Amino acid sequence: MRESARLAKLVLAGALAVLSCSGVGGGAPTLRDVQNEIDGGHLEAAVDKAEAARDKNPDSVPIRIMLAEANYKLAREALEAGREGDYTDRLGRAQAELLAAAAIDPKSADVHLWLGIILAYQGDIQASRTSFKNAYRLEPNHPVHALNLAEVSIYAGKLSSARRLLDKAKKRGGPRAIIEINEMLAAWRQGDYVEARDLFDGVYAMNPDVVRTWNEAPVTDPIESFEDFTEFCCSHIACGPYMDKACKQMDLEVVRKSVMEETLRREVELAAERRRRLKEIYDEHRELKIEIED
């Protein structure tokens, strides 16, 4: 795969997925076609084109990952709209594509990167951290994996580990703005509001575009101050619950995911299926040392 498109916004760390933009077979949509639909917010069209490309070339890991991305984003839209059946359906589709990609290429770090992103959005921070560890293990020299693992480590309260990972990301040429946003997040979680504000002001002056849409903050309501940043985090189900104390100290209400019992049951089933399939795949590739959470 070529490193031609590590600029797709992810839920965590402004991370970037490695996706080739080459064609996947005569007459089928290309990955560029699919990415254009995703970037334009045309997610249903992206799924249609990605499925056509996958059917033409079922062994293409990049197209399966991109199909998972589109389905995951549709799952987010469905949950935000209160359509919980659609939410779990799209999660299931996204997971199925990622597990199929892992079976095709067990060494793909991007499979575990996307599993980590989806699990973080679902609120399973420990499973997310395990997935990001696996991505980091498979591709240790790419800073994006250190950055993702650092962010979820901050949420998990493992600040020393997070700072070591941020140092590694610096040494490996990680984006300075993303590194400093995570340093700010760690300072805020630790209660050092003076340091957090100083870091925010510095990174905003350096790269305001990255800050304004951090972790998919809407362009219609961009992050332009430290107060905006904290308010957005506390209102985001993949951030606020892990920053509970920090949010409360700023008199901000934490928004938590609230779903029906049937939705929770389906999420548990998906988790069991994920663990089962990963165990099947990586029992045959023990040399990769992939961790599967209990």
pLDDT for the residue numbered 26: 52
Q: Is the dihedral of CA 7, 120, 130, 290 positive or negative?
A: negative
Please enumerate in sequence order all residues whose Cβ is within 8 A of that of 9, keeping only pairs 6 or more positions apart, or say none: 213, 216
pLDDT above 50 for 167: yes
| % of the chain with per-residue pLDDT over 70 | 91
Please enumerate in sequence order all residues whose Cβ is within 8 A of that of 8, keeping only pairs 6 or more positions apart, or say none: 16, 17, 19, 35, 38, 39, 69
Q: How far is CA 152 from CA 11, 77, 90, 111, 136, in A?
A: 11, 22, 23, 17, 13
As a whole number, mean pLDDT of residues 128-155 equals 97
Coil, strand, or helix at residue 175? Answer: coil
Q: Average model confidence (pLDDT) for the chain?
A: 91
Question: Contact at 8 Å (CB) between 200 and 184?
Answer: yes
As a whole number, mean pLDDT of residues 73-78 equals 97
pLDDT for the residue numbered 9: 37
Going by the DSSP 8-state scheme, the letter that residue 139 receives in this structure is: S
Helices 84-104 and 61-80 meet at what angle, rounded to 10?
160
Domain chopping of the chain, boundaries: 1-147+261-294, 175-259
pLDDT for the residue numbered 219: 87
Distance separating alpha carbons of residues 92 and 88, to the nearest angstrom: 6
| Paired tokens of 117 | 């992103």
Binning pLDDT at 50, 70 and 90, where does residue 157 land?
Answer: very high
Asked if the 1-147+261-294 domain carries CATH number 3.20.10.10, the reply is no
* Lowest-pLDDT choice from 43-47, 50-54, 90-94, 236-240: 236-240
Start-end of H helices in the chain? 31-39, 43-56, 61-80, 84-104, 109-122, 125-138, 143-155, 159-171, 176-190, 193-206, 208-212, 226-234, 244-249, 261-283
Q: What does the pLDDT look like over 106-137, one tens digit per residue?
A: 999 999 999 999 999 999 999 999 999 999 99
pLDDT for the residue numbered 230: 97
Distance separating alpha carbons of residues 49 and 183, to the nearest angstrom: 39
Q: Is the dihedral of CA 222, 227, 119, 132 positive or negative?
A: positive
As a whole number, mean pLDDT of residues 141-146 equals 96
Question: Contact at 8 Å (CB) between 236 and 61?
Answer: no
pLDDT above 50 for 277: yes
Q: What does the pLDDT look like over 174-194, one tens digit per residue?
A: 999 999 999 999 999 999 999
Q: What does the pLDDT look like over 96-114, one tens digit per residue?
A: 999 999 999 999 999 999 9
As a whole number, mean pLDDT of residues 23-52 equals 87
Distance separating alpha carbons of residues 255 and 41, to the nearest angstrom: 25
CA 7 to chain centre: 13
pLDDT above 80 for 152: yes
Q: What does the pLDDT look like over 230-241, one tens digit per residue?
A: 999 999 998 999
- Does 28 or 185 have the greater pLDDT score? 185
pLDDT above 50 for 68: yes
Q: What does the pLDDT look like over 7-22, one tens digit per residue?
A: 333 334 443 333 333 4
Going by the DSSP 8-state scheme, the letter that residue 68 receives in this structure is: H
